[in-house]
Amino acid sequence: MKKNTIYSILLLSLISFSAIGQNTMTVHTDLAKTKINKEIYGHFAEHLGHCIYGGIYVGEDSQIPNVKGFREDVVGALLDMKIPLLRWPGGCFADTYHWKDGIGPRQQRPSMVNIHWGGVTEDNSFGTHEFLDFCKLIKAEPYINLNVGSGTVQEASEWVEYVTSKNISPMTDLRKKNGQEEPWNVKFWGIGNENWGCGGNMTPEYYADLYNRFASYCGGDLYRIAGGPNVDDYNWMDVLMKKTTRHRHLVQGVSLHSYTFTTSWEDKGSATDFDESGWFADLKNTLNMETLIQEHSKIMDKYDPEKKIGLIVDEWGNWFNVEPGTNPGFLYQQNTLRDALVAGINLNLFNNHADRVAMANIAQAVNVLQSVILTKEDEMVLTPTYYVFKMYSVHQDATLIPTDLKCENYEFNGKSIPAVNASASTKDGVVSVTFCNLNPNKKESIDLTLAGQEFKSASGQIITSKNMNDCNDFGKDEIVKINSFEVKKPKNGKLSIDLPAKSVVLIQLK
Ligand code: AHR
Protein backbone atom coordinates (compact mmCIF):
# COMPACT_ATOMS: atom_id res chain seq x y z
CA MET A 1 0.00 0.00 0.00
CA LYS A 2 1.34 3.42 -0.89
CA LYS A 3 2.35 5.85 1.88
CA ASN A 4 -0.24 8.40 0.70
CA THR A 5 -3.06 5.86 0.78
CA ILE A 6 -2.16 4.86 4.34
CA TYR A 7 -2.22 8.54 5.40
CA SER A 8 -5.60 9.02 3.73
CA ILE A 9 -7.08 5.99 5.49
CA LEU A 10 -5.72 7.17 8.84
CA LEU A 11 -7.02 10.67 8.28
CA LEU A 12 -10.46 9.43 7.22
CA SER A 13 -10.82 7.18 10.26
CA LEU A 14 -9.73 10.06 12.51
CA ILE A 15 -12.32 12.37 10.96
CA SER A 16 -15.11 9.79 11.28
CA PHE A 17 -14.08 9.01 14.88
CA SER A 18 -14.26 12.65 15.88
CA ALA A 19 -17.59 13.03 14.02
CA ILE A 20 -19.07 10.18 16.06
CA GLY A 21 -17.58 11.28 19.33
CA GLN A 22 -18.12 15.03 19.20
CA ASN A 23 -21.52 15.44 20.86
CA THR A 24 -21.48 14.68 24.57
CA MET A 25 -23.81 15.21 27.48
CA THR A 26 -23.64 14.27 31.15
CA VAL A 27 -26.99 13.64 32.80
CA HIS A 28 -26.41 14.68 36.41
CA THR A 29 -29.18 12.68 38.08
CA ASP A 30 -27.38 13.21 41.39
CA LEU A 31 -27.90 16.99 41.10
CA ALA A 32 -31.65 16.99 40.37
CA LYS A 33 -33.51 19.50 42.53
CA THR A 34 -35.79 21.97 40.71
CA LYS A 35 -39.40 21.07 40.01
CA ILE A 36 -40.64 21.42 36.43
CA ASN A 37 -44.15 22.78 37.02
CA LYS A 38 -46.70 20.95 34.95
CA GLU A 39 -48.03 24.42 34.07
CA ILE A 40 -45.02 24.85 31.72
CA TYR A 41 -47.04 22.54 29.44
CA GLY A 42 -50.02 24.94 29.45
CA HIS A 43 -52.24 26.02 26.56
CA PHE A 44 -54.27 29.04 25.58
CA ALA A 45 -57.87 29.34 24.36
CA GLU A 46 -58.85 32.71 22.91
CA HIS A 47 -62.06 33.97 21.35
CA LEU A 48 -60.28 34.17 18.02
CA GLY A 49 -61.30 32.55 14.73
CA HIS A 50 -62.42 28.99 15.32
CA CYS A 51 -60.54 28.34 18.53
CA ILE A 52 -63.61 28.42 20.79
CA TYR A 53 -66.56 28.23 18.38
CA GLY A 54 -66.24 25.20 16.11
CA GLY A 55 -62.96 24.11 17.69
CA ILE A 56 -63.83 23.58 21.33
CA TYR A 57 -67.51 24.41 21.54
CA VAL A 58 -70.20 23.52 19.01
CA GLY A 59 -73.29 23.83 21.21
CA GLU A 60 -75.54 21.09 22.50
CA ASP A 61 -77.70 21.02 19.34
CA SER A 62 -74.77 20.31 17.01
CA GLN A 63 -74.57 17.16 14.87
CA ILE A 64 -70.92 16.92 15.91
CA PRO A 65 -70.67 14.52 18.87
CA ASN A 66 -70.43 16.65 22.00
CA VAL A 67 -70.71 16.66 25.78
CA LYS A 68 -72.69 19.70 26.94
CA GLY A 69 -71.69 21.40 23.68
CA PHE A 70 -67.96 20.58 23.92
CA ARG A 71 -66.54 18.47 21.06
CA GLU A 72 -66.01 14.90 22.26
CA ASP A 73 -63.04 14.34 19.93
CA VAL A 74 -61.25 17.46 21.18
CA VAL A 75 -61.94 16.63 24.84
CA GLY A 76 -60.56 13.11 24.30
CA ALA A 77 -57.44 14.36 22.51
CA LEU A 78 -56.63 16.96 25.17
CA LEU A 79 -57.08 14.39 27.94
CA ASP A 80 -54.78 12.03 26.10
CA MET A 81 -52.16 14.76 25.69
CA LYS A 82 -52.41 15.46 29.45
CA ILE A 83 -53.19 19.16 29.11
CA PRO A 84 -52.42 20.60 32.55
CA LEU A 85 -53.69 24.18 32.22
CA LEU A 86 -55.76 26.41 29.95
CA ARG A 87 -55.64 30.22 29.74
CA TRP A 88 -58.78 32.13 28.65
CA PRO A 89 -60.45 34.35 27.25
CA GLY A 90 -57.48 36.15 25.58
CA GLY A 91 -55.09 37.59 24.42
CA CYS A 92 -56.18 40.89 23.00
CA PHE A 93 -59.77 39.68 23.38
CA ALA A 94 -59.41 39.70 27.18
CA ASP A 95 -59.16 43.49 27.38
CA THR A 96 -62.42 43.85 25.45
CA TYR A 97 -64.33 41.19 27.36
CA HIS A 98 -67.04 41.98 29.89
CA TRP A 99 -67.63 38.78 31.81
CA LYS A 100 -71.19 39.56 32.87
CA ASP A 101 -72.21 39.34 29.18
CA GLY A 102 -71.23 35.66 29.27
CA ILE A 103 -73.29 34.33 32.17
CA GLY A 104 -76.97 33.45 32.66
CA PRO A 105 -79.41 31.97 30.11
CA ARG A 106 -77.67 31.88 26.71
CA GLN A 107 -80.58 33.37 24.75
CA GLN A 108 -80.47 36.43 26.99
CA ARG A 109 -76.74 37.10 26.72
CA PRO A 110 -75.91 40.28 24.81
CA SER A 111 -73.59 40.04 21.84
CA MET A 112 -70.50 42.13 21.11
CA VAL A 113 -68.15 42.81 18.23
CA ASN A 114 -64.80 41.06 18.42
CA ILE A 115 -62.83 44.14 17.37
CA HIS A 116 -59.41 42.51 17.25
CA TRP A 117 -60.27 39.31 15.46
CA GLY A 118 -62.15 39.79 12.21
CA GLY A 119 -64.89 42.09 13.55
CA VAL A 120 -67.17 39.10 13.94
CA THR A 121 -70.14 39.03 16.30
CA GLU A 122 -69.44 37.26 19.56
CA ASP A 123 -72.69 35.91 20.98
CA ASN A 124 -71.19 35.13 24.39
CA SER A 125 -72.58 31.60 24.39
CA PHE A 126 -69.21 30.42 25.73
CA GLY A 127 -68.63 32.26 29.01
CA THR A 128 -67.33 31.68 32.51
CA HIS A 129 -69.43 28.59 33.30
CA GLU A 130 -68.68 27.00 29.94
CA PHE A 131 -64.95 27.64 30.32
CA LEU A 132 -64.81 26.19 33.80
CA ASP A 133 -66.97 23.20 32.82
CA PHE A 134 -64.60 22.58 29.91
CA CYS A 135 -61.54 22.72 32.17
CA LYS A 136 -63.18 20.19 34.46
CA LEU A 137 -63.83 17.86 31.51
CA ILE A 138 -60.25 18.04 30.25
CA LYS A 139 -58.81 17.98 33.80
CA ALA A 140 -56.90 21.22 33.28
CA GLU A 141 -56.27 24.04 35.75
CA PRO A 142 -58.08 27.20 34.61
CA TYR A 143 -56.23 30.50 34.18
CA ILE A 144 -58.50 33.53 33.70
CA ASN A 145 -57.24 36.80 32.21
CA LEU A 146 -58.97 39.90 33.61
CA ASN A 147 -59.85 43.00 31.57
CA VAL A 148 -57.72 46.01 32.49
CA GLY A 149 -57.74 47.82 29.11
CA SER A 150 -61.47 48.56 28.86
CA GLY A 151 -62.70 47.21 32.19
CA THR A 152 -62.97 48.57 35.70
CA VAL A 153 -61.48 47.51 39.00
CA GLN A 154 -64.99 46.77 40.24
CA GLU A 155 -65.75 44.53 37.25
CA ALA A 156 -62.53 42.59 37.78
CA SER A 157 -62.95 42.19 41.52
CA GLU A 158 -66.56 41.06 41.07
CA TRP A 159 -65.45 38.40 38.59
CA VAL A 160 -62.95 37.05 41.10
CA GLU A 161 -65.66 37.10 43.77
CA TYR A 162 -68.23 35.42 41.48
CA VAL A 163 -65.82 32.60 40.69
CA THR A 164 -63.93 32.02 43.94
CA SER A 165 -65.91 33.31 46.93
CA LYS A 166 -67.60 31.13 49.54
CA ASN A 167 -69.19 34.14 51.24
CA ILE A 168 -72.74 35.36 50.91
CA SER A 169 -72.80 38.34 48.53
CA PRO A 170 -74.65 39.62 45.48
CA MET A 171 -72.01 38.02 43.23
CA THR A 172 -72.12 34.61 44.88
CA ASP A 173 -75.95 34.76 44.86
CA LEU A 174 -75.79 35.44 41.14
CA ARG A 175 -73.45 32.47 40.62
CA LYS A 176 -75.81 30.20 42.52
CA LYS A 177 -78.79 31.53 40.53
CA ASN A 178 -76.84 30.54 37.39
CA GLY A 179 -76.52 26.98 38.61
CA GLN A 180 -73.13 26.89 40.35
CA GLU A 181 -73.60 26.47 44.09
CA GLU A 182 -69.97 25.97 45.11
CA PRO A 183 -67.15 28.32 44.13
CA TRP A 184 -64.66 27.07 41.58
CA ASN A 185 -61.05 26.62 42.48
CA VAL A 186 -59.34 29.11 40.18
CA LYS A 187 -55.86 29.99 41.33
CA PHE A 188 -54.33 31.70 38.27
CA TRP A 189 -55.52 35.22 37.34
CA GLY A 190 -53.89 37.46 34.75
CA ILE A 191 -54.31 41.20 35.27
CA GLY A 192 -54.50 42.60 31.75
CA ASN A 193 -52.85 41.39 28.56
CA GLU A 194 -50.21 43.12 26.43
CA ASN A 195 -51.00 46.44 28.05
CA TRP A 196 -48.08 47.91 26.08
CA GLY A 197 -50.16 47.17 22.93
CA CYS A 198 -53.68 45.90 22.30
CA GLY A 199 -54.39 46.02 26.05
CA GLY A 200 -54.41 49.84 26.18
CA ASN A 201 -51.13 51.10 24.69
CA MET A 202 -49.87 52.09 28.13
CA THR A 203 -46.45 53.05 29.43
CA PRO A 204 -44.87 50.61 31.91
CA GLU A 205 -45.15 53.21 34.70
CA TYR A 206 -48.86 53.72 34.12
CA TYR A 207 -49.59 50.00 33.79
CA ALA A 208 -47.60 49.12 36.92
CA ASP A 209 -49.69 51.60 38.93
CA LEU A 210 -52.88 50.19 37.45
CA TYR A 211 -51.67 46.67 38.20
CA ASN A 212 -51.19 47.53 41.87
CA ARG A 213 -54.65 49.04 41.96
CA PHE A 214 -56.40 46.07 40.30
CA ALA A 215 -54.41 43.53 42.31
CA SER A 216 -55.34 45.29 45.57
CA TYR A 217 -59.00 44.53 44.95
CA CYS A 218 -58.65 41.08 43.41
CA GLY A 219 -58.04 39.45 46.73
CA GLY A 220 -57.77 35.98 48.23
CA ASP A 221 -55.14 33.32 47.92
CA LEU A 222 -54.60 33.88 44.20
CA TYR A 223 -51.64 33.58 41.84
CA ARG A 224 -51.77 37.02 40.20
CA ILE A 225 -49.92 37.47 36.91
CA ALA A 226 -48.86 40.96 35.84
CA GLY A 227 -48.85 41.79 32.13
CA GLY A 228 -45.16 41.68 31.35
CA PRO A 229 -42.99 42.69 28.43
CA ASN A 230 -43.12 42.16 24.72
CA VAL A 231 -40.10 40.08 23.67
CA ASP A 232 -36.95 42.04 24.67
CA ASP A 233 -38.55 45.10 26.27
CA TYR A 234 -36.25 44.97 29.28
CA ASN A 235 -37.29 48.44 30.44
CA TRP A 236 -40.90 47.23 30.79
CA MET A 237 -39.73 44.32 32.94
CA ASP A 238 -37.56 46.58 35.09
CA VAL A 239 -40.23 49.21 35.74
CA LEU A 240 -42.89 46.59 36.41
CA MET A 241 -40.73 44.62 38.83
CA LYS A 242 -39.60 47.79 40.61
CA LYS A 243 -43.13 49.14 41.09
CA THR A 244 -45.04 45.92 41.78
CA THR A 245 -42.58 44.33 44.19
CA ARG A 246 -43.08 47.30 46.55
CA HIS A 247 -46.30 45.45 47.38
CA ARG A 248 -44.73 42.03 47.18
CA HIS A 249 -47.81 40.07 48.30
CA LEU A 250 -49.75 41.35 45.27
CA VAL A 251 -47.60 39.81 42.55
CA GLN A 252 -46.88 36.13 42.01
CA GLY A 253 -46.01 36.06 38.31
CA VAL A 254 -45.00 38.30 35.40
CA SER A 255 -45.83 37.34 31.85
CA LEU A 256 -43.60 37.37 28.77
CA HIS A 257 -44.91 37.18 25.20
CA SER A 258 -42.60 36.13 22.43
CA TYR A 259 -43.62 34.56 19.14
CA THR A 260 -41.34 33.05 16.51
CA PHE A 261 -41.43 34.69 13.08
CA THR A 262 -39.48 33.26 10.18
CA THR A 263 -39.00 36.54 8.37
CA SER A 264 -40.64 39.64 9.83
CA TRP A 265 -43.87 40.86 11.45
CA GLU A 266 -45.01 42.20 8.06
CA ASP A 267 -44.36 38.98 6.16
CA LYS A 268 -44.36 36.05 8.51
CA GLY A 269 -43.76 33.43 5.83
CA SER A 270 -45.79 30.34 5.02
CA ALA A 271 -46.48 27.62 7.59
CA THR A 272 -46.03 24.85 5.03
CA ASP A 273 -44.33 26.20 1.93
CA PHE A 274 -40.69 26.66 2.92
CA ASP A 275 -37.24 25.34 2.12
CA GLU A 276 -34.12 24.97 4.26
CA SER A 277 -33.72 28.73 4.62
CA GLY A 278 -37.20 28.89 6.22
CA TRP A 279 -36.37 25.91 8.42
CA PHE A 280 -33.08 27.40 9.59
CA ALA A 281 -34.43 30.93 10.18
CA ASP A 282 -37.38 29.64 12.20
CA LEU A 283 -35.25 27.44 14.47
CA LYS A 284 -32.61 30.14 14.87
CA ASN A 285 -35.25 32.69 15.85
CA THR A 286 -36.89 30.36 18.33
CA LEU A 287 -33.55 29.77 20.07
CA ASN A 288 -33.69 33.47 21.00
CA MET A 289 -36.05 32.41 23.78
CA GLU A 290 -32.94 31.33 25.72
CA THR A 291 -31.55 34.91 25.67
CA LEU A 292 -34.93 36.38 26.58
CA ILE A 293 -35.33 34.10 29.60
CA GLN A 294 -31.77 34.79 30.75
CA GLU A 295 -31.99 38.57 30.37
CA HIS A 296 -35.46 38.94 31.90
CA SER A 297 -34.43 36.62 34.75
CA LYS A 298 -31.43 38.85 35.51
CA ILE A 299 -33.79 41.81 35.95
CA MET A 300 -36.22 39.76 38.03
CA ASP A 301 -33.31 38.56 40.19
CA LYS A 302 -32.58 42.19 41.16
CA TYR A 303 -35.98 42.56 42.79
CA ASP A 304 -36.68 38.93 43.63
CA PRO A 305 -33.37 37.14 44.28
CA GLU A 306 -35.14 34.15 45.80
CA LYS A 307 -36.96 33.54 42.51
CA LYS A 308 -40.39 33.50 44.12
CA ILE A 309 -42.04 35.41 41.27
CA GLY A 310 -42.65 33.20 38.26
CA LEU A 311 -41.78 34.15 34.69
CA ILE A 312 -44.96 33.18 32.85
CA VAL A 313 -44.38 32.75 29.11
CA ASP A 314 -48.10 32.88 28.49
CA GLU A 315 -47.93 33.38 24.72
CA TRP A 316 -45.35 31.66 22.56
CA GLY A 317 -45.08 29.64 19.37
CA ASN A 318 -44.76 30.01 15.62
CA TRP A 319 -46.75 32.77 13.95
CA PHE A 320 -47.02 32.48 10.15
CA ASN A 321 -49.12 34.08 7.41
CA VAL A 322 -52.69 32.74 7.48
CA GLU A 323 -53.48 29.79 5.22
CA PRO A 324 -54.41 31.08 1.74
CA GLY A 325 -58.14 31.64 1.37
CA THR A 326 -58.86 31.87 5.11
CA ASN A 327 -60.08 34.93 7.03
CA PRO A 328 -56.99 37.10 7.77
CA GLY A 329 -58.54 38.01 11.15
CA PHE A 330 -58.75 34.36 12.22
CA LEU A 331 -54.99 33.62 12.16
CA TYR A 332 -55.47 30.03 11.02
CA GLN A 333 -52.23 28.22 10.17
CA GLN A 334 -51.13 24.64 9.40
CA ASN A 335 -48.45 22.89 11.42
CA THR A 336 -45.49 20.84 10.16
CA LEU A 337 -42.50 18.92 11.42
CA ARG A 338 -40.80 22.33 11.76
CA ASP A 339 -43.42 23.25 14.39
CA ALA A 340 -42.63 20.02 16.23
CA LEU A 341 -38.99 21.14 16.46
CA VAL A 342 -40.00 24.64 17.62
CA ALA A 343 -42.22 23.13 20.33
CA GLY A 344 -39.54 20.65 21.42
CA ILE A 345 -36.82 23.33 21.59
CA ASN A 346 -38.94 25.79 23.59
CA LEU A 347 -40.14 23.15 26.03
CA ASN A 348 -36.54 22.02 26.61
CA LEU A 349 -35.56 25.66 27.28
CA PHE A 350 -38.46 26.16 29.70
CA ASN A 351 -37.55 22.95 31.53
CA ASN A 352 -33.93 24.04 31.82
CA HIS A 353 -35.05 27.36 33.34
CA ALA A 354 -37.66 25.84 35.65
CA ASP A 355 -36.19 27.77 38.58
CA ARG A 356 -37.72 30.93 37.07
CA VAL A 357 -40.18 29.81 34.37
CA ALA A 358 -43.24 28.78 36.35
CA MET A 359 -45.73 28.47 33.50
CA ALA A 360 -45.91 28.70 29.71
CA ASN A 361 -48.89 28.66 27.34
CA ILE A 362 -48.52 27.97 23.64
CA ALA A 363 -50.88 29.96 21.40
CA GLN A 364 -53.54 28.73 20.71
CA ALA A 365 -54.86 25.28 21.54
CA VAL A 366 -57.20 24.81 18.55
CA ASN A 367 -57.40 26.25 15.02
CA VAL A 368 -55.25 29.38 15.39
CA LEU A 369 -51.45 29.85 15.57
CA GLN A 370 -49.26 26.90 16.63
CA SER A 371 -52.25 24.75 17.54
CA VAL A 372 -52.15 21.22 18.81
CA ILE A 373 -55.53 20.49 17.23
CA LEU A 374 -57.16 21.55 13.96
CA THR A 375 -60.83 20.93 13.22
CA LYS A 376 -62.95 21.17 10.08
CA GLU A 377 -66.66 20.46 10.55
CA ASP A 378 -66.69 17.04 12.25
CA GLU A 379 -63.07 16.17 11.38
CA MET A 380 -60.11 16.61 13.70
CA VAL A 381 -56.38 16.62 13.00
CA LEU A 382 -53.68 16.21 15.64
CA THR A 383 -50.69 18.32 14.63
CA PRO A 384 -46.97 17.52 14.99
CA THR A 385 -46.98 20.00 17.91
CA TYR A 386 -49.67 17.89 19.61
CA TYR A 387 -47.38 14.88 19.53
CA VAL A 388 -44.49 16.82 21.06
CA PHE A 389 -46.69 17.88 23.98
CA LYS A 390 -47.86 14.30 24.39
CA MET A 391 -44.31 12.94 24.28
CA TYR A 392 -42.95 15.60 26.66
CA SER A 393 -45.78 15.12 29.21
CA VAL A 394 -43.33 12.88 31.11
CA HIS A 395 -41.62 16.08 32.31
CA GLN A 396 -44.77 17.46 33.98
CA ASP A 397 -44.14 17.90 37.71
CA ALA A 398 -40.88 15.95 37.40
CA THR A 399 -37.56 17.16 38.82
CA LEU A 400 -35.17 18.83 36.42
CA ILE A 401 -31.82 17.08 35.94
CA PRO A 402 -28.95 19.43 35.08
CA THR A 403 -27.19 18.50 31.84
CA ASP A 404 -24.10 19.86 30.11
CA LEU A 405 -24.62 19.36 26.41
CA LYS A 406 -21.65 19.96 24.13
CA CYS A 407 -22.56 19.63 20.49
CA GLU A 408 -21.49 20.59 17.03
CA ASN A 409 -23.17 23.32 15.03
CA TYR A 410 -25.70 23.06 12.26
CA GLU A 411 -24.52 25.48 9.59
CA PHE A 412 -26.50 27.03 6.80
CA ASN A 413 -25.53 29.84 4.44
CA GLY A 414 -22.66 30.99 6.65
CA LYS A 415 -24.75 31.06 9.84
CA SER A 416 -24.72 28.47 12.58
CA ILE A 417 -26.80 27.26 15.52
CA PRO A 418 -26.27 24.34 17.91
CA ALA A 419 -27.38 21.14 16.20
CA VAL A 420 -28.82 19.56 19.35
CA ASN A 421 -31.04 20.85 22.12
CA ALA A 422 -32.03 18.80 25.18
CA SER A 423 -33.43 18.63 28.69
CA ALA A 424 -33.79 15.88 31.29
CA SER A 425 -35.94 15.13 34.30
CA THR A 426 -36.65 12.41 36.80
CA LYS A 427 -39.94 11.17 38.20
CA ASP A 428 -40.77 7.97 40.09
CA GLY A 429 -37.31 6.54 39.43
CA VAL A 430 -37.55 6.99 35.65
CA VAL A 431 -35.20 9.43 33.92
CA SER A 432 -36.58 11.09 30.77
CA VAL A 433 -34.33 12.92 28.32
CA THR A 434 -35.78 14.84 25.38
CA PHE A 435 -33.64 15.82 22.40
CA CYS A 436 -34.16 17.86 19.27
CA ASN A 437 -31.87 17.35 16.30
CA LEU A 438 -32.18 20.65 14.45
CA ASN A 439 -30.09 19.55 11.50
CA PRO A 440 -32.41 18.46 8.66
CA ASN A 441 -29.58 16.81 6.70
CA LYS A 442 -27.58 14.80 9.16
CA LYS A 443 -27.97 12.42 12.05
CA GLU A 444 -26.33 13.57 15.28
CA SER A 445 -24.63 10.99 17.47
CA ILE A 446 -24.42 11.78 21.14
CA ASP A 447 -22.49 10.09 23.93
CA LEU A 448 -24.29 10.26 27.24
CA THR A 449 -22.66 9.89 30.63
CA LEU A 450 -25.22 8.89 33.24
CA ALA A 451 -24.06 10.17 36.60
CA GLY A 452 -25.61 9.35 39.96
CA GLN A 453 -27.87 6.41 39.11
CA GLU A 454 -27.47 2.99 37.56
CA PHE A 455 -29.77 2.06 34.73
CA LYS A 456 -30.62 -1.39 33.45
CA SER A 457 -32.81 -0.53 30.49
CA ALA A 458 -33.65 2.23 28.06
CA SER A 459 -36.57 2.84 25.71
CA GLY A 460 -37.32 5.57 23.20
CA GLN A 461 -39.89 7.43 21.13
CA ILE A 462 -39.39 9.62 18.07
CA ILE A 463 -41.22 12.25 16.01
CA THR A 464 -39.79 12.76 12.54
CA SER A 465 -40.85 12.54 8.92
CA LYS A 466 -39.41 12.31 5.41
CA ASN A 467 -39.80 16.01 4.55
CA MET A 468 -39.30 19.03 6.79
CA ASN A 469 -42.68 20.45 5.76
CA ASP A 470 -44.70 17.26 6.25
CA CYS A 471 -47.94 17.86 8.12
CA ASN A 472 -51.09 16.01 9.12
CA ASP A 473 -54.10 17.05 7.09
CA PHE A 474 -57.83 16.47 6.84
CA GLY A 475 -58.85 13.34 4.98
CA LYS A 476 -55.26 12.08 4.71
CA ASP A 477 -53.26 9.48 6.59
CA GLU A 478 -51.49 10.87 9.60
CA ILE A 479 -47.78 11.11 8.74
CA VAL A 480 -46.17 13.03 11.59
CA LYS A 481 -46.72 11.19 14.85
CA ILE A 482 -44.93 9.37 17.66
CA ASN A 483 -43.14 6.16 16.72
CA SER A 484 -41.05 3.90 18.89
CA PHE A 485 -37.30 4.41 18.76
CA GLU A 486 -34.75 1.77 19.47
CA VAL A 487 -32.08 2.53 22.07
CA LYS A 488 -29.14 0.40 23.18
CA LYS A 489 -28.79 -0.76 26.78
CA PRO A 490 -26.84 1.64 29.00
CA LYS A 491 -23.48 0.11 29.96
CA ASN A 492 -21.21 1.25 32.80
CA GLY A 493 -22.96 4.58 33.03
CA LYS A 494 -22.63 5.27 29.29
CA LEU A 495 -25.12 5.32 26.45
CA SER A 496 -24.69 6.35 22.80
CA ILE A 497 -27.62 7.55 20.77
CA ASP A 498 -28.01 8.37 17.10
CA LEU A 499 -30.55 11.13 16.67
CA PRO A 500 -31.93 11.01 13.13
CA ALA A 501 -31.94 14.24 11.12
CA LYS A 502 -34.81 16.68 11.96
CA SER A 503 -36.19 14.71 14.87
CA VAL A 504 -37.59 15.08 18.35
CA VAL A 505 -36.64 12.12 20.55
CA LEU A 506 -37.50 10.91 24.04
CA ILE A 507 -35.24 8.45 25.86
CA GLN A 508 -36.40 6.90 29.12
CA LEU A 509 -33.99 5.15 31.46
CA LYS A 510 -34.83 2.83 34.33
O1 AHR B 1 -52.25 35.19 19.79
C2 AHR B 1 -52.75 36.25 19.07
C3 AHR B 1 -52.55 37.57 19.77
O4 AHR B 1 -51.18 37.78 19.94
C5 AHR B 1 -53.05 37.65 21.19
O6 AHR B 1 -54.41 37.93 21.25
C7 AHR B 1 -52.27 38.78 21.74
O8 AHR B 1 -52.12 38.73 23.13
C9 AHR B 1 -50.96 38.69 20.98
O10 AHR B 1 -50.59 39.90 20.43
Q: Is the CB of 256 under 6 A from ligand 1?
A: no
pLDDT tens digits along 139-194? 999 999 999 999 999 999 999 999 999 999 999 999 999 999 999 999 999 999 99
- Which class is domain 37-397? alpha beta
Each domain of the chain, given as residue ranges in start order, spans: 23-32+401-509, 37-397
Confidence of residue 6 (pLDDT cuts 50, 70, 90): very low
What gap in Å lies between CA 152 and CA 326, rounded to an integer? 35
Atom of ligand 1 nearest to the CA of 117: 6
Query: Of the listed 141, 161, 194, 444, which one is catalytic?
Result: 194
What predicted TM-score, i.e. pTM, was given to this entire model?
0.94
Per-chain mean pLDDT for the chain = 95
Confidence of residue 13 (pLDDT cuts 50, 70, 90): very low
Confidence of residue 250 (pLDDT cuts 50, 70, 90): very high
Please give the average per-residue pLDDT across 296-316, as a whole number: 98
At 220 the pLDDT is 85
pLDDT tens digits along 115-133? 999 999 999 999 999 999 9
Q: How far is the CA of 370 from the centre of ligand 1 (A)?
A: 12
Please give the average per-residue pLDDT across 267-277, as a whole number: 96
Confidence of residue 21 (pLDDT cuts 50, 70, 90): very low
**Per-residue pLDDT for 18 more than 60?**
no
What gap in Å lies between CA 470 and CA 475, rounded to an integer? 15
Q: Is the CB of 161 under 6 A from ligand 1?
A: no
Question: What is the percent of the chain where pLDDT is above 90?
Answer: 94
The neighbouring-strand residues paired with 146 are 191
* Residues with Cβ within 8 Å of residue 436, at least 6 apart in sequence: 341, 344, 345, 348, 420, 421, 422, 503, 504, 505
Confidence of residue 413 (pLDDT cuts 50, 70, 90): very high
At 263 the pLDDT is 87
pLDDT tens digits along 82-124? 999 999 999 999 999 999 999 999 999 999 999 999 999 999 9
At 219 the pLDDT is 83
Please name which of 220, 206, 242, 211 lies closest in space to residue 146, comparing C-alpha atoms.
Answer: 211
Enter the CATH code of domain 23-32+401-509.
2.60.40.1180
Please check whether residue 478 is in contact with residue 472, taking contact to mean a CB–CB distance below 8 angstroms.
yes
What gap in Å lies between CA 457 and CA 256, rounded to an integer? 39
